[in-house]
Amino acid sequence: MFGLLKNLLFRKKQKPLTERDLNGRNHVGYPTMQLSDEIDKLIEPQFKSIKPVIKMYKETLFFKWGPSVINDKLSDEQLAKLSGRNLQMVYLLLFRDMLRHIAEIVELKNEPANWPDIFAQEVLDNCQMLGDADDMDIAKKQALFASEQRYCIDIPIDDKHPENTEIPDWAVPLAELIMLPADMIYKCHRPLLVAITARKKRR
């Protein structure tokens, strides 16, 4: 299930980890697992009705596409410089957007209308995502987290001619935080949201 992350975190000690492996574990694996664990803690008591949808999104983005894209696209030097807090923020912003989309088509009992934002704020606080004194990107992340913008996923992806896909502006600052091309962020997020919203509308 965890794919690349599982290999990094739970590899047997027969082979010594390379520097890239260590950076992948420390800057991708551990931050991702912390974020995932904090989300799981909130899901169980409060959001059981949408747990399957959350699980699908989280496991695909956090444990498959995200790490795979990072591993393919980042050089050794970039991976060494990658901030685990920045990675968590990008994941959380995408996750919150998914919840915002769900909130438009699914009404949760006993939850306020802005429950996706409350959920994301709890996760942010529990992970202490903005608490590192030497974090150079705090102001940028604070501004991104404060945004009420819902990420547009209306632009279709042209798989046969990727260069023809127009990448929305919202993907750019997220991609910059983790040194990825902006199209990779959009091409990870959109297909999952299309699948989720299509499934929820059929219910």
pLDDT confidence of residue 12: 54
pLDDT confidence of residue 5: 60
Sign of the dihedral defined by the CA atoms of residues 178, 183, 186, 189, in that order: negative
Can you tell me whether residue 152 is helix, strand or coil?
coil
**Helices in 48-147 by DSSP H: which ranges?**
51-60, 66-73, 76-81, 84-105, 115-127, 138-146
Nearest to 61 by CA among 185, 173, 165: 185
Model confidence over 40-50: pLDDT tens digits? 998 877 788 88
- What number is the average pLDDT over the span 41-61? 87
Tokens of 119: 């959920």
Q: Which helix (H) or strand (E) holds 197?
A: helix 182-202
Listed range (2-6, 72-76, 116-120, 144-148) with the worst mean pLDDT: 2-6
